[in-house]
């Protein structure tokens, strides 16, 4: 059996602790994380973050639980992994595009989220995917952290979040349509839906509270990876059929760009 990581060990211990207490719902906070881990994590939130179901500890997978964040250092174990994670759809060969480009000196010097999105914007990959027009010139808003509050449902479980901190990797605006991005480096089979659901609720909250004339919100997930020494970038667009339910996520379309430096 594969040895659990430090993060998996921590969440396993926390799950066993709150489950044995018998409290419903199964909630915990950063103080318990620090107590259980002995302060091994400088950022307690990092111990509770599982961006893909691939790295959930076995005890959660076997019990069909995953972790959601409630804001203000609070978290909950929620039943229904199938609603908390979404598998990436296969990309049809017809949607795979060769993308020759002239490499600049600063291209791909780092592979973080902002670098991935900067590369895609500078090489007009975003414009091609979003607008079918590499000459499109949307307004751009760089990565930011913010907080928001909202309620949602996983099955029949109502979840209330207060001042939940979010990080939005990049935002574009064109024709009153807001596009926001979640970017990751490296292949994975699925992703935590809250990575795009939370920012989607934030965008709606801002539009409603400030009475902005927003015509649409488009969540985009971007994956960068290297295969056969070639950089490849995959775009996935989603929507939510019921904005109160992350599990209502619906795939819209995808495409892959294979970059070749000239």
Quote the CA–CA distance of 189 and 162 in Å, as a whole number.
30
Name the strand (E) or helix (H) holding 173.
Answer: strand 157-174
Asked if 249 and 197 touch (Cβ cutoff 8 Å), the reply is: yes
Task: For residue 231, give Cα distances in angstroms to 27, 227, 237.
Answer: 41, 7, 20
Q: Are 125 and 257 in contact (CB under 8 A)?
A: yes
The candidate with the shortest Cα–Cα distance to 234, out of 86, 96, 107, is 96
Cα radius of gyration (the chain)? 19
pLDDT confidence of residue 104: 86
pLDDT digits (tens, 9 = 90+) for 68-108: 999 999 999 999 999 999 999 999 999 999 999 888 888 88
pLDDT attached to residue 3 = 65
Q: Which residues contact 65 (CB under 8 A, 6 or more apart)?
A: 15, 26, 77, 78, 79, 81
Q: What is the pLDDT confidence band of residue 2, given thresholds at 50, 70 and 90?
A: low
pTM reported for the whole predicted model? 0.95
Helix residue spans in the chain (DSSP H): 6-21, 30-37, 58-63, 81-84, 113-122, 125-131, 194-209
> At 1, is the pLDDT very low, low, confident or very high (cuts 50, 70, 90)?
very low
């Amino acid at each position: 059996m594969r040895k659990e990581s430090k993060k998996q060990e921590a969440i396993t211990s926390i799950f066993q602790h709150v489950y044995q207490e018998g409290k419903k719902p199964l909630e915990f906070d950063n103080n318990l994380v620090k107590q259980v881990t002995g302060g091994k994590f400088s950022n307690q939130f990092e111990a509770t973050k599982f961006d893909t179901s691939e790295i959930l500890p076995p005890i959660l997978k076997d019990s069909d639980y995953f972790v959601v964040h409630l804001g203000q250092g609070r978290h909950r174990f929620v039943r229904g992994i199938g609603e908390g994670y979404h598998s990436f759809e296969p990309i049809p060969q017809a949607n795979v595009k060769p993308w020759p480009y002239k490499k600049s000196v600063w291209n791909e010097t780092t592979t973080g989220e902002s670098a991935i999105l900067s590369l895609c914007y500078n090489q007009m990959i975003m414009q091609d995917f979003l607008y079918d027009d590499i000459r499109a010139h949307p307004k751009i808003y760089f990565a930011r952290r913010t907080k928001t509050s909202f309620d949602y449902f996983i099955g029949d479980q109502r979840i209330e979040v207060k001042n939940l901190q979010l990080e939005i990797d990049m935002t574009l605006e064109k024709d009153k349509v807001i596009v926001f991005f979640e970017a990751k480096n490296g292949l994975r089979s699925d992703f935590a839906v809250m990575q795009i659901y939370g920012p989607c609720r934030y965008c709606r909250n801002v539009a409603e509270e400030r009475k902005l004339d927003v015509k649409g919100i488009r969540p985009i997930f971007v994956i960068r990876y290297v295969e056969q020494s070639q950089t490849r970038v995959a775009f996935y667009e989603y929507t939510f059929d019921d904005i109160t339910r992350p599990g209502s996520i619906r795939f819209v379309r995808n495409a892959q760009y294979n970059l070749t430096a000239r």
